[in-house]
Amino acid sequence: MSTPVRVLLVEDNPGDADLTRETLEAGRLHLEIDVVVDGEQALDYLLQRPPYAGKPMPDLVLLDLNLPRISGREVLEEIRRQPRLRKVPIVILTSSDAEQDIVRSYELGANCYVTKPVGFEAFQTVVRSVEGFWFTIVRLP
């Protein structure tokens, strides 16, 4: 890919955010990664409200469900209400493996649901798998 792939990471846990970013940046692909730490910032970013006015739309959103201020579920629901955001793929990347969270996320329009594993190496493997699938196999809109 000659143009960078833009990723919005919505993650309130600094350790998970750093590890995800570092793992993605260590890959072979040219990615531009922005990180926001709560649901309100995610919606401000995606709706291009200040301080994110003029930011380009991401090609992919990695969204945690358990966020402060506005939950990941509410963010997902709002994204899917917005005609210009409907095509943006949303990967739920969360610690929850609760069946109701999985089902509800798909009902709200998630493109896939990935549970964060415990452990550094397992976490990196999952992030690399997400990267490989979404950026080398799938054709993004």
pLDDT tens-digit map of 8-34:
999 999 999 999 998 888 877 788 999
* DSSP 8-state symbol, 84: G
Name the amino acid, one letter, at 10.
Answer: V
Q: Is the pTM of this model over 0.85?
A: yes
The pLDDT assigned to 1 comes to 44
Cβ contact 111:139 at 8 Å: no
Q: CA 5, CA 133: separation in Å to the nearest integer?
A: 13
The CATH H-level (homologous superfamily) assignment of domain 9-131 is: Response regulator (3.40.50.2300)
pLDDT tens-digit map of 90-129:
999 999 999 999 999 999 999 999 998 888 888 888 888 8
